[in-house]
């Protein structure tokens, strides 16, 4: 065991290495210790401070406030700004007080205060970004006698990099002759502020297609929508490290056709007619990225005939690739889907959410969870 003298030397060396301003007084206010950064900030030598009382260096206007803090210092105080009398003039410091074993510990760190200020500002910005991102998610999905949609969305953090939507295509005066529904899921790499903002760009760009390019009565191609997105994404010049996976599907209830285009989804959507007819929609291309040569970002449409009671499951990889002590959720999910596909989409989503929660146990969600279930009547 080191001697008390050696321990004092070690403790002093450690406190001098810290960025914190540290001052220790007895209960009467006599200064018994000040670390090197506190000495430098006040402009006093160690020997000079040892002959002073804390009350000698507190600016008069803050004397009563300091007494109040010390009186309640049995519990650590919050940060408070104090004016101290330094050798060269008044010094402003944010300080905390703690009373322990007949000594008053006074400490502060202006870098931490700045960090707190930045953190609070960032918290406000993130809270606003969460609100913006939530507003881009659909409040409700189509639910008609012929087709219905339901979704499960769980971001890995406050902000997610997934986005989805489903809506009936507006053909204006020709609506009586067309009944088409578009559904898509986009998965942006990551799940922070930048990914959420990029996900919003995905939705805005798709909306722009229907505002600027779509003509009522015109045949609707998922590939054309994806190509429109790729064109605008490359023009924006996003950093190469970002990847956007986009799955786009159009249900045409008049022609009884399902047409889809897959840009980067490696978890294939499942189209279930019955237990013996489960189709993986596996015709896919590369994810969208400025780091991939544009000639490789070419996609095509694939079609399937729609049949009554057909159910489609579209999901980002966060759900099937979630891990727990039982392994990946993927196989368990596939088995569950074959058991519940005949239910209504809202019931399907509820059952999957309940089962996933049971599977997850106490594991942290590692990636954004997005699932859309679609059922034909």
DSSP 106-126: EEE-HHHHHHHHHHHHHHHHH
Q: Are 283 and 289 in contact (CB under 8 A)?
A: no
Whether the predicted pLDDT of 246 surpasses 90: yes
Query: Domains of the chain: which residue ranges?
Result: 4-108, 134-376
- pLDDT, one tens digit per residue, over 178-206 is 999 999 999 998 777 888 889 999 999 99
Residue 188 to residues 20, 161, 193, 249, 369: CA-CA distances in angstroms? 41, 5, 11, 18, 12
Q: Are 375 and 310 in contact (CB under 8 A)?
A: yes
Q: Are 336 and 355 in contact (CB under 8 A)?
A: yes
pTM: 0.74
The answer for residues whose C-beta is within 8 angstroms of residue 121's C-beta and 6 or more apart is none
Please give the pLDDT value at position 375: 97
User: Which two structure tokens, joined as six digits, stand for 159?
Assistant: 């902000």
Alpha helices in the chain (DSSP H): 4-17, 36-42, 46-49, 54-57, 63-71, 110-136, 193-212, 222-236, 330-340, 345-360
Q: How confident is the model at residue 3 (pLDDT cuts 50, 70, 90)?
A: low
Q: Which residue has the higher pLDDT, 235 or 283?
A: 235
Plot region of 32 (φ>0 → left; ψ -120 to 50 → alpha; else → beta): alpha
- pLDDT, one tens digit per residue, over 38-57 is 999 999 998 898 889 999 99
Residue 267 to residues 102, 283, 315, 371: CA-CA distances in angstroms? 64, 11, 7, 11
Please state, in angstroms and rounded to a whole number, the distance separating the CA atoms of residues 298 and 301: 11
- pLDDT, one tens digit per residue, over 285-337 is 999 999 999 999 999 999 999 999 999 999 999 999 999 887 899 999 999 99
Neighbours of 92 (CB within 10 A): 12
134-376, CATH topology level:
Phosphatase 2c; domain 1 (3.60.40)
Closest CA to 319 of 371, 276, 253, 375: 371
**Domain 4-108 annotated CATH 3.30.450.20:** yes
Alpha helices in 18-45 (DSSP H): 36-42
The answer for residues whose C-beta is within 8 angstroms of residue 99's C-beta and 6 or more apart is 27, 70, 73, 74, 105
Whether the predicted pLDDT of 4 surpasses 70: no
pLDDT above 70 as % of the chain: 98
Q: Which whole number is the average pLDDT over 236-263?
A: 95
Q: How confident is the model at residue 8 (pLDDT cuts 50, 70, 90)?
A: low
Pairing of strands 257-263, 270-274: unpaired
Q: Which whole number is the average pLDDT over 211-238?
A: 94
Write down the mean pLDDT value for the chain.
Answer: 90
Whether the predicted pLDDT of 212 surpasses 80: yes
Whether the predicted pLDDT of 1 surpasses 50: no
């Amino acid at each position: 065991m080191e001697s008390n003298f050696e321990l004092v030397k070690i403790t002093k060396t450690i406190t001098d290495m810290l960025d914190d301003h540290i001052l220790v007084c007895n209960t009467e206010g006599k200064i018994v210790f000040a670390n090197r950064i506190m000495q430098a900030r006040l402009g006093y030598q160690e020997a000079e401070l040892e002959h002073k009382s804390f009350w000698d260096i507190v600016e008069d206007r803050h004397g009563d406030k300091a007494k109040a803090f010390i009186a309640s210092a049995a519990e650590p105080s919050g940060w408070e700004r104090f004016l101290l009398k330094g050798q060269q003039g008044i010094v402003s410091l944010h300080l905390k007080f703690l009373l322990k074993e007949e000594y008053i510990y006074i400490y502060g760190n202006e870098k931490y205060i700045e960090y707190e200020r930045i953190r609070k500002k960032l918290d406000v910005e993130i809270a606003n970004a969460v609100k913006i991102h939530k507003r881009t998610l659909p409040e409700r999905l189509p639910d008609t006698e012929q087709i219905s949609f339901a979704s499960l969305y769980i971001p890995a953090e406050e902000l997610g990099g997934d986005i989805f939507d489903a809506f009936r295509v507006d053909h204006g005066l020709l609506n009586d002759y067309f009944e088409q529904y578009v559904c898509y899921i986009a998965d942006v790499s990551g799940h922070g502020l930048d990914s959420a903002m990029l996900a919003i760009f995905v939705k805005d760009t798709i909306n722009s297609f229907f505002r600027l390019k779509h003509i009522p009565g015109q045949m609707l191609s998922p590939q054309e929508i994806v190509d429109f997105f790729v064109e605008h994404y490359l023009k924006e010049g996003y950093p190469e490290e970002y990847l956007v996976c986009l799955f786009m599907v159009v249900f045409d209830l008049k022609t009884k056709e399902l047409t889809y285009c897959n840009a980067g989804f490696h978890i294939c959507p499942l189209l279930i007619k019955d237990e013996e007819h489960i189709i993986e929609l596996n015709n896919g291309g590369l994810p969208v990225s400025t780091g991939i040569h544009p000639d490789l970002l070419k996609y095509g449409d694939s079609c399937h005939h729609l049949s009554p009671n057909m159910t489609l499951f579209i999901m980002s990889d966060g759900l099937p690739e979630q891990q727990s002590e039982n392994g990946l959720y993927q196989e368990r999910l596939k088995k569950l889907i074959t058991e519940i596909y005949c239910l209504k989409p809202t019931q399907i989503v509820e059952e999957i959410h309940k089962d996933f929660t049971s599977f997850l146990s106490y594991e942290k969600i590692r990636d954004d969870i997005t699932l859309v279930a679609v059922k034909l009547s």
